[in-house]
Chains A and B, each alone.
Chain A
Amino acid sequence: MMTKLRSYGPATLLLWVLVLIYLFPVAWFILSSFKPGSELFSLPLSILPENWTFSGYITAWNRFNFAQYFFNTGLVAVVTTVLTVFVSAMTGYALAKYKAKWLSIFFICILATTMLPTEVIMPSTFVVIRDLGLYNQLAGIIVPSIITATGIFMFRQYFKTVPDELLEAARIDGVGEIRAFFSIMLPLAKPIAVTLAIFSFQWRWNDYIWPLLVLNDPNRYTLQLALRSIVGADNIDWSVLLSASVISLIPMVILFFVFQKQIMNADMNSGLKD
């Protein structure tokens, strides 16, 4: 064992220590979900449950319609992510490759939206959504989330680095604008698309405030809305909350393992030139 440890460099050992530090709260959280409520606050604190129990899981599973909430949250996250990537790519492409004065002003306007906290524009967005008939619809939480200045900015900066000659050559060969975008530009921007998709999916999966304002029907609740209902006025059913939280993480963990390679390579700067 000692020989094995010595074979590691100090940097590797340091990284292992960091891994353990990061792993500790997650492991404690998962192990705590198997504790009865009476053990959660016992002193001295213990990592492993003294009496393993699934009661929290059973209560959570019986109390919540997880299948419905997974479906709603998944639908919102997938549809929004797909639309966000396409719309951001198209907008970023237009802003990078078409020359018009108003486009620059338009781009500054898009960037300006990042300077306003989301909460500031929520009342106005709510009125728009309500008047469009999207209140209490999943579309009501999808539509306002599609446009993200961050995504547009990422694609614009990337497309600016693609030589104009490439597009001109394609146009000379008779390629139309739509085909040029889908066959040439979008494949080139794959790293950006994947990065944005990962971020967008996480944002939408974890959204709470906007769905809270827009969704009134429990059958359309997203996972976060449902989980939060466990928090009462003066006490919290921790054993149920912990178990329900673990269940809610499972799809994200599966997704992580499926797209592990892309996620590990997802870097806000990938494909961007300094």
Chain B
Amino acid sequence: MNPVLGRRQLMLGGIAGTAAVGLGLSACSDGAGGGADGGEVTHMQFFLSGDANQGGGFAHMAAKYQEETGVEVEIVDVANEDLTTKLKNAALANDLPALARVGSIDATWKDVTMDLRDILDTNDVKSELAAIDPDGKVLSLPSDITAVGMFLNKTLFDAAGATYPAVGEEPWTWDGFTETIRSVQAATGASYGMVMDRSAHRLKAFLYEFGSNTFELVDGAFETNENTKPALEYFYALNDDSFMPRSVWLSDGDPNGLFKSGDVVAYCSGSWQIADFAVNIADFEWVSVYMPKQPVRVTNYGNAASIVVFEGTGQEQAALDFVNWLFTPENYTELSETSGFLPAVNGITVTYADNAEAFELYNEEIEASDEVAARLKTQDLEGEIEGRTLEGDPLRDETVKYLNDEQDVDTTIANIIELLNASL
């Protein structure tokens, strides 16, 4: 019988295996390019998510920075859902990158962030979107702003002869909006009237518009006002598998794909879709329009992400220099124009190459928004700074149960409050 492997193969395999493990063991694990030993920093890592999908603005600015200063800022694009995990583990292994663009402040590393106060003040960054602790330390700066907004399939609207409020006109109400959408649906045979991302961020905008304050921390406990229940009931009625497909909220169907199919009249999503639609929709015309109000005119807006600089990397000053450079008006404008960002710096005029009117509409919506959105955003940031953590997303998860007839609306509201209070 022949052996599985000859002696020579065994030896080679053994040597290869040992060498590979040895190489891995002996390889340098320092992602830094100096600095840790007090030397000059030539390379640092910037962890973020979705830059390539959003025009590659950060990569573009990093290349420009290297040209100007010789310092390489390596953009490490991590899947959005995994960025939190990755940074947590990096913190546990004492191997944090020089800086990161994060969705929220995490308790694991919030105490090892640099104070970004000087950069905030020097460049007039929107302070209401920065995470500032009670001592005045600025833990993070908003990298850009996103806002919830409504997209329409203009081709279907035109085919049905329907109209929507143009820029400068009075926005529609949810009652008027749904009536119009249903008429377009009936006239064109579209499968669905509207899709909405399965997200608390989008649902909050909807609730605000009905006069709800969603769930607000008052005197040490979460509460909501009397407008939340009717708003949730209204949302339940919309999810009837005709106006809205139940599959999106109940089984994570893809609203983006459904809207792109051309078979849906409206899509409640946000400003980050503009760049995607510009490239990936060719079969029909789409348009950004005002969010409906009932009666409150508001959109849910805030920092799409925040920039933090980590302590203990030996590259703190180099990272601060880069962030400061990034937020200067000229560079920040270039970043916003490249990535299609709504600016998080005051006094910036961004000239968008494509779909300028859509971005303009979002800026107008933010400007006209009721103060409830900013108030609740501040509350969220305070929660992050205090290190409040939640299992899942109570608003979204409990609403899904309500839509699925697992519980009634009163139980839904009570459960959300209970889960939020448990995080205190």
- Listed in ascending order, the chain A residues whose CB lies under 8 Å from chain B are 36-43, 63, 75, 78-79, 82-83, 126-127, 130, 133-140, 142-143, 182-183, 186-190, 193, 212-214, 216-218, 220, 228-239
Contact with A along B48-72 (1 / 0, CB 8 A): 0110111000000000000000000
Knowing A186-B4, A216-B31, A217-B29, say if A232 contacts B95 (CB, 8 Å): no
Query: Across the interface, do A38 and B89 meet the contact criterion of CB distance under 8 Å?
Result: no
Q: List residues of chain A with CB within 8 A of the CB of B263.
A: 43
Query: Across the interface, do A41 and B89 meet the contact criterion of CB distance under 8 Å?
Result: no
Q: How far is the CB of A31 from chain B (nearest CB, A)?
A: 17
Query: Across the interface, do B54 and A232 meet the contact criterion of CB distance under 8 Å?
Result: yes
Residues 38-88 of B contacting A (Cβ, < 8 Å):
49-50, 52-54, 74, 76-82, 85-86
Query: Across the interface, do A38 and B281 meet the contact criterion of CB distance under 8 Å?
Result: yes
Name the contact of B280 in the complex, choosing from A40, A126, A187, A217 (C-beta under 8 A): A40
Knowing A212-B85, A229-B79, say if A235 contacts B272 (CB, 8 Å): yes
Query: Across the interface, do B20 and A138 meet the contact criterion of CB distance under 8 Å?
Result: yes
Name the contact of B79 in the complex, choosing from A42, A75, A231 (C-beta under 8 A): A231
Q: List residues of chain A with CB within 8 A of the CB of B20.
A: 75, 79, 138-139, 142
Query: Across the interface, do A216 and B50 meet the contact criterion of CB distance under 8 Å?
Result: no
Name the contact of A187 in the complex, choosing from B3, B90, B103, B282 (C-beta under 8 A): B3
Q: How many A-B residue pairs have CB under 8 A?
A: 144
State A59–B279 Cα separation when bound (angstroms).
Answer: 14
Is B193 an interface residue when CB atoms closer than 8 A count as contact? no
Q: List residues of chain B with CB within 8 A of the CB of A232.
A: 49-50, 53-54, 80
Is B1 an interface residue when CB atoms closer than 8 A count as contact? yes
Q: List residues of chain A with CB within 8 A of the CB of B10.
A: 182
State A231–B80 Cα separation when bound (angstroms).
Answer: 7
State A217–B96 Cα separation when bound (angstroms).
Answer: 11
Is B424 an interface residue when CB atoms closer than 8 A count as contact? no
Name the contact of B89 in the complex, choosing from A39, A83, A183, A213 (C-beta under 8 A): A213
Q: How far is the CB of A36 from chain B (nearest CB, A)?
A: 8
Given contacts A134-B25, A140-B24, 19 further A-B contacts (CB under 8 A): A40-B260, A40-B280, A41-B280, A42-B261, A43-B261, A43-B263, A130-B92, A135-B29, A137-B27, A137-B29, A139-B24, A186-B4, A186-B5, A212-B82, A216-B89, A230-B79, A232-B49, A236-B53, A239-B280
Query: Across the interface, do A237 and B52 meet the contact criterion of CB distance under 8 Å?
Result: yes
Residues 361-402 of B contacting A (Cβ, < 8 Å):
none
Name the contact of A136 in the complex, choosing from B79, B95, B283 (C-beta under 8 A): B95
Q: List residues of chain A with CB within 8 A of the CB of B262.
A: 42-43
Knowing A38-B282, A212-B85, say if A79 contacts B4 (CB, 8 Å): no
Query: Across the interface, do A234 and B13 meet the contact criterion of CB distance under 8 Å?
Result: no
Q: List residues of chain B with CB within 8 A of the CB of A218.
A: 74, 76
Candidate in A126, A183, A216, A237 with the most chain B CB atoms within 10 angstroms:
A216
State A234–B31 Cα separation when bound (angstroms).
Answer: 29
State A122–B258 Cα separation when bound (angstroms).
Answer: 37
Is B186 an interface residue when CB atoms closer than 8 A count as contact? no
Query: Across the interface, do B17 and A42 meet the contact criterion of CB distance under 8 Å?
Result: no
Is B418 an interface residue when CB atoms closer than 8 A count as contact? no
Query: Across the interface, do B272 and A216 meet the contact criterion of CB distance under 8 Å?
Result: no
Knowing A135-B29, A235-B273, say if A142 contacts B21 (CB, 8 Å): yes
Is B353 an interface residue when CB atoms closer than 8 A count as contact? no
Query: Across the interface, do A126 and B89 meet the contact criterion of CB distance under 8 Å?
Result: yes
State A144–B275 Cα separation when bound (angstroms).
Answer: 42
- Listed in ascending order, the chain B residues whose CB lies under 8 Å from chain A are 1-5, 10, 13, 16-17, 20-21, 23-25, 27, 29, 31, 49-50, 52-54, 74, 76-82, 85-86, 89-90, 92-93, 95, 97, 103, 197, 256-258, 260-263, 269-270, 272-273, 276, 279-283
The chain A residue with its CB closest to the CB of B2 is A187
Query: Across the interface, do B280 and A79 meet the contact criterion of CB distance under 8 Å?
Result: no
State A81–B8 Cα separation when bound (angstroms).
Answer: 18
Query: Across the interface, do B31 and A136 meet the contact criterion of CB distance under 8 Å?
Result: yes
Query: Across the interface, do A216 and B90 meet the contact criterion of CB distance under 8 Å?
Result: yes
Q: List residues of chain A with CB within 8 A of the CB of B17.
A: 79, 82-83
Query: Across the interface, do A234 and B25 meet the contact criterion of CB distance under 8 Å?
Result: no
30 contacts across the A-B interface (CB closer than 8 A): A41-B257, A41-B261, A43-B263, A75-B20, A79-B17, A82-B13, A82-B16, A82-B17, A133-B29, A137-B25, A138-B20, A139-B20, A140-B24, A182-B10, A186-B4, A188-B1, A189-B4, A190-B4, A212-B85, A213-B85, A216-B29, A216-B31, A216-B97, A229-B79, A232-B53, A232-B80, A234-B256, A234-B272, A235-B256, A238-B280
Q: List residues of chain A with CB within 8 A of the CB of B281.
A: 38
State A239–B197 Cα separation when bound (angstroms).
Answer: 21
The chain B residue with its CB closest to the CB of A231 is B79
Across the A-B interface, give the 4 residue pairs with the lowest CB-CB distance, nearest first: A139-B24, A232-B50, A38-B282, A37-B280
Knowing A142-B21, A234-B273, say if A136 contacts B29 (CB, 8 Å): yes
Q: List residues of chain B with CB within 8 A of the CB of A43.
A: 261-263
Query: Across the interface, do A229 and B279 meet the contact criterion of CB distance under 8 Å?
Result: no
Query: Across the interface, do B21 and A139 meet the contact criterion of CB distance under 8 Å?
Result: yes
Q: How far is the CB of B271 from chain A (nearest CB, A)?
A: 10
Q: How far is the CB of B36 from chain A (nearest CB, A)?
A: 14
State A79–B80 Cα separation when bound (angstroms).
Answer: 30
Query: Across the interface, do B279 and A37 meet the contact criterion of CB distance under 8 Å?
Result: yes
Query: Across the interface, do B1 and A187 meet the contact criterion of CB distance under 8 Å?
Result: yes
Q: List residues of chain B with CB within 8 A of the CB of A231.
A: 79-81
Query: Across the interface, do B279 and A186 meet the contact criterion of CB distance under 8 Å?
Result: no
Q: List residues of chain B with CB within 8 A of the CB of A78.
A: 16
Name the contact of A130 in the complex, choosing from B5, B27, B93, B97 (C-beta under 8 A): B93
State A79–B263 Cα separation when bound (angstroms).
Answer: 50
Q: List residues of chain B with CB within 8 A of the CB of A234.
A: 197, 256, 269-270, 272-273
Query: Across the interface, do B78 and A229 meet the contact criterion of CB distance under 8 Å?
Result: yes
State A228–B89 Cα separation when bound (angstroms).
Answer: 18
